[in-house]
C-alpha cells in the first residue's frame, strides 16, 4: 500500500467567466468544485493505476466533508483527522480565452497540537502497513515548519519509504530527515540548493548535491521537458511525448504517483520514470485540477523515453 498525507488540502473552486473585469460585476458562466491537495492528487492517480492507497491528512467543516466525499465516490480510501476549523477553499478564475487563471488561495485553517498528535499516530499506524508514505503540499497554519521532518522519521521508524513533495522551508526541513525521494520542479530545486538552475548540467549537479544530503532518489521535473533523476550515483533523463496541454495543475503529483506505483511493484527506476512522465503528461491534458485517466496514461507510456546521461 502507498499512503499519502495532505496537511493543508483545499476545496478547489474554478469559476468560469467570459473575461475577468476587475472593479466591475462579472457574470459567472459555470463553477466547478473539486478536491485539491498534493497527497490527495497522488492518491487519486495511484487508485487510477490500481495501487492500494489511503489518503491521510487534516480536514474540517463542510469543505473538509466535501473532499472526503469526492474521494470516497472515486473509491479512494480516506483516514483523515478532523479539525475544528474549516478546510480552505482556493478559487481559480478562468477566462474563456484559456489564459492562465487568476488564483485566490486561502492560507488554510489553524490546526491544534492535539490534531497534530492524532495525525502522527495515524501516520505511525499506517506506515507500518505501507510500502511508502507520500507527504505533499504546504504546511497548515499552527503546525511547526519541521513537521515533515518528524513525519518522515515516523514513516522510516515503521519501515516505510518516504516521499516529500513540498517547497520552501518545509522542503528544506523535510530533506534534513533524508526522505527516500523528493520531486521538486526546477524552481523548487533551485530554491532548495540556493541557485538558479538553467542548463541540464546545473540540474544534474543540483540533483547529485541533494543525493549527497541523504535523499536516495531526486527527481527534478521540468514540465514539458520531462525530468532529470539522480539515484545511487547514476543520472537519467526522462522525456514525455509532446501532448495537447490544457492545464498542468497536478502533473507533478501524478508523476510522483506513477513513479511510486512502479517502485512498489519492484519495477526498475527506468520503468518508474516512464510511468511518472506518462502520468504527468496525461494530467497536463486535463481541465483545471483534474488528473489523467488510466487509459490515457497507458496510451502515452510507450512514447516516453528514458536515457542514462551519467
Ligand X SMILES: Nc1ncnc2c1ncn2[C@@H]1O[C@H](COP(=O)(O)OP(=O)(O)OP(=O)(O)O)[C@@H](O)[C@H]1O
Q: Which positions are annotated as active-site residues?
A: 253
By the rule CB under 6 A, 4 interacts with ligand X: no
Note whether 189 binds ligand X by CB under 6 A.
no
| Region near Mg ion per CB under 5 A, out of 90-98, 189-197, 249-257, 285-293 | 249-257
CB nearer to Mg ion: pick between 130 and 251: 251
Which residue do the cell numbers 490527495 mark?
A: 40
Contact 163, 260 (CB under 8 A): yes
Q: Is 113 in the site for ligand X (CB under 6 A)?
A: no
227 binds ligand X (CB under 6 A): yes
Q: How far apart are alpha carbons 260 and 52 in whole angstroms?
A: 12
Please report how close the Cβ of residue 255 comes to ligand X at its closest, in angstroms.
4
Total number of residues binding ligand X (CB under 6 A)?
Answer: 21
Region binding ligand X by CB under 6 A among candidate stretches 87-95, 107-115, 144-152, 238-246: 238-246
Binding mask 204-243 for Mg ion (x = CB under 5 A): ----------------------------------------
65: exposed, middle or buried (Cβ count in 10 Å: 0-12, 13-18, 19+):
middle
DSSP secondary-structure letter at 138?
P
Per DSSP, helices labelled H in 28-184 are 38-49, 61-73, 113-127, 147-157, 168-175
Q: Does 250 bind Mg ion (CB under 5 A)?
A: no
Residue 14 binding target from ligand X, Mg ion, none, CB below 5 to 8 Å by type? none
**Contact call for residue 223 and ligand X (CB under 6 A):** yes
Position 273 contacts ligand X (CB under 6 A): no
Helix (H) / strand (E) containing 288: none
Q: Which three cell numbers stand for residue 76?
A: 479512494
Return the SS3 of 277.
helix
Q: CA-to-CA distance for 125 and 3, rounded, in angstroms?
A: 11
Using the minimum distance from each CB to ligand X, give the nearer residue, 59 or 277: 277
Q: Smallest distance, Å, CB 200 to ligand X?
A: 14
Look at the block and give the residue holding cell 477566462. 95
- List strand residue ranges (DSSP E) for the chain, in order: 2-6, 10-17, 28-36, 53-59, 77-78, 81-82, 88-95, 102-105, 132-136, 161-165, 181-182, 217-221, 227-231, 234-239, 305-308
C-alpha grid cell for residue 270? 527506468
Shorter beta-carbon distance to ligand X: residue 156 or 224: 224
- Contact range with ligand X by CB under 6 A, out of 24-32, 48-56, 208-216, 219-227: 219-227
* Contact pick of 4, 185, 286, 296 for ligand X (by CB under 6 A): 185
Report if residue 252 touches Mg ion, rule: CB under 5 A. yes
Residues engaged in binding ligand X (CB under 6 A): 185, 221-224, 226-227, 240, 243, 245, 248-253, 255, 277, 280-281, 284
Amino acid at each position: 500500500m502507498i499512503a499519502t498525507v495532505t496537511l493543508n488540502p483545499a476545496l478547489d473552486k474554478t469559476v468560469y467567466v467570459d473575461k475577468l473585469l476587475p472593479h466591475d460585476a462579472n457574470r459567472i458562466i459555470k463553477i466547478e468544485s473539486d478536491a485539491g491537495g498534493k497527497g490527495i492528487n497522488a492518491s487519486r492517480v495511484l487508485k487510477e493505476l490500481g495501487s492500494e492507497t489511503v489518503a491521510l491528512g487534516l480536514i474540517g467543516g463542510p469543505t473538509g466533508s466535501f473532499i472526503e466525499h469526492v474521494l470516497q465516490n472515486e473509491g479512494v480510501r480516506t483516514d483523515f483527522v478532523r479539525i475544528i476549523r474549516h478546510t480552505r477553499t482556493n478559487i481559480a478564475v478562468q477566462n474563456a480565452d484559456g489564459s492562465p487563471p487568476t488564483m485566490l488561495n486561502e492560507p488554510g485553517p489553524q490546526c491544534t497540537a492535539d490534531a497534530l498528535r492524532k495525525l502522527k499516530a495515524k501516520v505511525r499506524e499506517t506506515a507500518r502497513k505501507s510500502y511508502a508514505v507520500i507527504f505533499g503540499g504546504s504546511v497548515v497554519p499552527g503546525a511547526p515548519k519541521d513537521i515533515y521532518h518528524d513525519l518522515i522519521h515516523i514513516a522510516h521508524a515503521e519501515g516505510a519509504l518516504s516521499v516529500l513533495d513540498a517547497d520552501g522551508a518545509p522542503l528544506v526541513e523535510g530533506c534534513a530527515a533524508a526522505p527516500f525521494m523528493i520531486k521538486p520542479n526546477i524552481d523548487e530545486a533551485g530554491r532548495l540548493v540556493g541557485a538558479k538552475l538553467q542548463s541540464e548540467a546545473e540540474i544534474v549537479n543540483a540533483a547529485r548535491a541533494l543525493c549527497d544530503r541523504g535523499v536516495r532518489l531526486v527527481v527534478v521535473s521540468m514540465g514539458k521537458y520531462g525530468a532529470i533523476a539522480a539515484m545511487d550515483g547514476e543520472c537519467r533523463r526522462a522525456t514525455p511525448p509532446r501532448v495537447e496541454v490544457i492545464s498542468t495543475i497536478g502533473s507533478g503529483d501524478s508523476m510522483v504517483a506513477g513513479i511510486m506505483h512502479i517502485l512498489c511493484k519492484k519495477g526498475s527506476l527506468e520503468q518508474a520514470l516512464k510511468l511518472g512522465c506518462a502520468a504527468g503528461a496525461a494530467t497536463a491534458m486535463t481541465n483545471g485540477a483534474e488528473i489523467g485517466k488510466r487509459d490515457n496514461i497507458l496510451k502515452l507510456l510507450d512514447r516516453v523515453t528514458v536515457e542514462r546521461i551519467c
